[in-house]
A and B are shown apart, each in its own frame.
Chain A
Amino acid sequence: MSIIRAIIIFQFINLCFASEISKSVYLNTGSKLAVLEFSGEGLSEPLRLFLTEEFRKTIRDLKVYRVQNKGISNQFSILNPNKKDYWSCLSEGCAIDLGKKLNVNYIIAGKIEQNGDDEFLINGRLFSVDLETMVNEFSINSSGASDSLLLDMKKMAYDVSGLPIPDNLSVESDTSQVAVSKKIIRKRIWPQLPPIPSKIKALMMSTALPGSGQIWAKRKFHGYTFMSIEAILGVSTLIAYYQYDIAWGGFQETYQSYQIETDPHNLLELRPQIIQYVSDTKKYNLFMKNVRNIGALIWVINMAHAYIVAPNDDFFDGDYYFDFEYKPDANKIQFNYRF
C-alpha cells in the first residue's frame, strides 16, 4: 500500500514539474511587435505616418503586444533606408527577415489604398517571426470621409489584438482629426533630405571621419580601430609639425642673422646652427610625409572597408555607384562603377 502511495506522489510531483516546464516554454515565445509604416497610395505622407502611429499607439494601449516605439525607425534607416519601399515588405520572407533584424516576435506590414474619391482599402498582415509564417491577414474597406480612416485603423488594432471592438470608438474620431491637421502643418516645415543608399552613406561618413561609417554600420570595433589609428597618426603629425615649426623658426631667424652678420666669430657659430636646423626640418618633414602617406593609405582602406561592411539595401531598387563583382566564368574580380 505504501509503495502505491509513493508511486502516486512521485507521479504527482512529475506532473507538477512537467506543467512548469511547458509554461516556461510558452513564455519564451514573447510578444514583441513591430509595426512597419503603412504604405499609402493616393494618400499624403504625413497622414500615412499619422495613421500608422495611431495604429501603433492603439495596439500598445491594448497591452496584448509589447509594441516597439516609433524610435525603431532609426533602425529602419540602417536596415531599410528607402522608407517608401515598405509596402514591398508585405511578402512573408521580407517581413520575417526584417522582423529578425529588429529582434521582435511579431511584425505587422500593411498598406492603405485609395480606390475612389472617398473610399480607402486598408490591408494588413500579421507575421510571426518565431514561427516564420503569416498568422493573420486583415482588410477593411473604409468609405465616406477621410476621418473614418483613423477610426478604421483603431478598429483594426482591436482586430489584430483579438479583442472586441468597443462601441465608443466613433466618439473619439472627431477630436483625433483636429490633431491630425495640426501635425501635418508642423511636419511640412522640416526639409527632407534625399535618401542615400547605406553603402554610400557609410562611405561618405568614413571619408569625412575615418571609422564613423563602420560605427554607423554597427562595426564598432573596426570603426574605433580606424579612428584610433588615424587619431594617433594625426597626433604624431601634430607633434612632428610642432617640432618642425620650432626648427623652421630657428632656421629662418639664424639664417637671417647669418646673412647680415659681419663678425667672423659669430658667423662661425651661426653656421653649424643653421645646418642643424635644416637637418631637423628635413627630418620632421620627412616624418610628416611618411605619416601622411600611411594615413592616406589607411584612410582609403577605411573608406573601402566602410563601403564593404555597410548593410546592403534590400529594398533599394537603384544601381550602386560602384561594386566588386566576381565572375566565375572568367575567374576574376571585376570592379564596376557608374558615375
Chain B
Amino acid sequence: MGKIEETKIAMKSVSSLRIMFFLLGLLSFPLVAKGEEMSCKQCHADKIDYISFYKSIHRTLSCRSCHDGVSRLELHMQGNDRAKEVNCAKCHQNVFQKYRRDVHNVKLNMACQDCHQPIHALKRGRSLSSCNQCHPRENYVLRGHGRALEAGNMDAPSCADCHGLHNISVYDLASEKAQSLARETYTKRCISCHGNVKIAKRNKFSTQTVKSYYETYHGKVLRVGYTDKVAGCADCHTGHNTLPKTDSASAIHPDNLYHTCRSCHPIMHKRFVQFDPHPNPSDPKRSRIVYWVNVFMIALLTGTFAFFWTHSLLWWRRAYLEKYREGKKLIQVTLPGEKQVERFTFRDRMMHVLLVISFFILVLTGFPIKYADAPWAKMLLNFWGGPHAAGTFHRIAAITLCLLFLYTCWLSFKFLFPKGEKSGWVKRLLGPDSLFPNLKDLKDIVGMFRWFFHRGEMPKFDRWTYWEKFDFMAVFWGMTVIGFSGFILWFPGLFSYLLPGWMINVAMVVHSEEAFLAAIFIFTVHFFNNHLVPTKFPLERNIFTGRYPLETMKIERPLEYERMLAEGRLEEIKKDAPGIGTQLFASLFGLGSLILGLILAFMIFWAAIF
C-alpha cells in the first residue's frame, strides 16, 4: 500500500468520525438547549413570558445565544458570574453599523431593547409603532402625513421615510450649522416625494410646488448649499403639522401666515404675506402681475438681443469684407513722437475700471444663485469662500455700482447746468458732446444699416455713436431696475412697509432677467461693438489709456475732428501718447476682462440652454 493510499484511508476515517460527531451533536442539541432553558427558567420564569417568547421572532434562539458569558452555573446562581451585556450586533451587524451614528444611540444612549420592547416577545414590524410611544400620535402622527398614512395612503410617509430607521441624523440643537444641515436633509426628503411625478399624479398634487420653490431665492440659495438663512420646506410648513392651507391649524393658513413668516423675518409689515413662496411666472391665474412683468422682461430681452445681435452680425460681415477683401486700412498706428488726442479723462477711466470690477463681481456672485443647478455654480461660490461670503461681495459690489451711478447722475447734472447756468440745457442735452440720443442718432442707425447692405457710405460720427449712447442710457434703466429690485430682495421685510408683498416676486423676476440682459449684452454686444469688431479686434484700449491716434479719430469720428478743428480746440485735446505702464495695464486689464467676460457668457449660455 502506497503512502498516498494510506493517507486516503486515514482521511476517510477522519471524515467518517467528523460526520458521526456532527450528527451526534445535531441530535443532542435540542436536549442541551432544552436543558439549558430549563435551568434558566427555574430562576428567571418571573422575568420572561415564555409563551410570548416562543411566538416571538427569536424563538429559535437559546437564552445563551444572547446572554452569554456565564461559565459556571453555581457561581452565576450565587450572583458572582453574571452574563455579559447583550450584544445584538453579533447577529445584527448591519443594523448596528448604521445605528452607532443614530441620534438615539449617540445622544440618548438608547439600546436596541429600549425601542424593541418587550424584547422577549418581539415580532416583526413592531418597531415603527414604538416611535409613537415616545413621540405621541396626537403631536406627530395624527396630522398631515400621519393622518393620510393612517387613512391607508401608502404614499404618505411614515416616521422612517423622513427620519430614517436606524440612521436618524444627529443634530445639535445649540449649533446653527446643525440646524442648517437638518434643513438641507429634510428639504431633500420632502422634495424626493413632492418632486416625484408618479406620486404627484396618484395624490393629485402639483410638481410645480418643487419647481416653483427652486425658482425662489429660498430654493436657489438652498440648492447651492447655503442653508443657514433660507427657508426649507419645514420652516414654513412645519415638521409634523403639515396641513393644507385651508386647515386653520396649518402654519400656512392665512390667519397664521404672518406669524409663520415673522419667525424668520422679524421686521415686516402684515402685507409681507402677500409674497408668493411658490410663484409661477408663466401662470397668469396664479399671479397676473408677475406673469405680465415676466412677459415684459422676456419681450425686452428678445427685442434688445434681436436688434443688437443682428446689428453686430451685419456689422461684422461688412467690416470683415472691408478689412480683408477690400484691403482698406481702418486703424492707424501712432508714429513715434506723434501726439494723440484725449478721449477719456483719468476720472472717466477710473470710473470705468471700477465699473468693470464691480460688474464682474456681481456676475460672478449673482449668477451662481440664478443658475443654482449649473455645474459651475458651487465652484464659483467656493471661490468666494462660500455662499455667505459671495453674498457679502455681491452687496459690496452693488453698493459700489450704485455710488458710481449716483456720481454719474451728478456729473450729468453738472454737464447740463455748468456753474449754475440754467439756460441752454436743452441744447447741451441734444448737442454733440451729450450722451443723450438725438435725431442724428436715428439717421445714423438707418445709415449704418444702408452701409451694412452696401447701399451707402458709413455714417460720419461725432463724439458719441448711437451704440455708445445706448450703452450709457441703458445703465440708467438697468441700474434703476436692477438696483431697486436688488434692494427689495436685500431688505424684503423693510420694503413691505412701503410695497405689497407680491412686489418681492416682481423684484425676483426683474432682478434675475435684467441681470441676464445686462451680463449678456455687455459680454456680447458691448464687447463686439468696442473690441471684437474686425476693425478693433482684439482690443480697443482707449477706454483704459484715455488716448488714441489723431488719424483714428479722423476715421472713426470725423465730425468731432472737424468740429474741434473749426472751434480751434484740437490742440487742447492733443496729448502725449500713453506711457508704457498705462499701455501695459490697458492691455492686461482689458484683455483679461474680455476673456473673462467671454468665458462667463459661455457659462451663462450653457446653464440657460442645458
* A and B: interacting chains: no
Q: Which residues of A contact B (CB under 8 A)?
A: none
Q: Which residues of B contact A (CB under 8 A)?
A: none
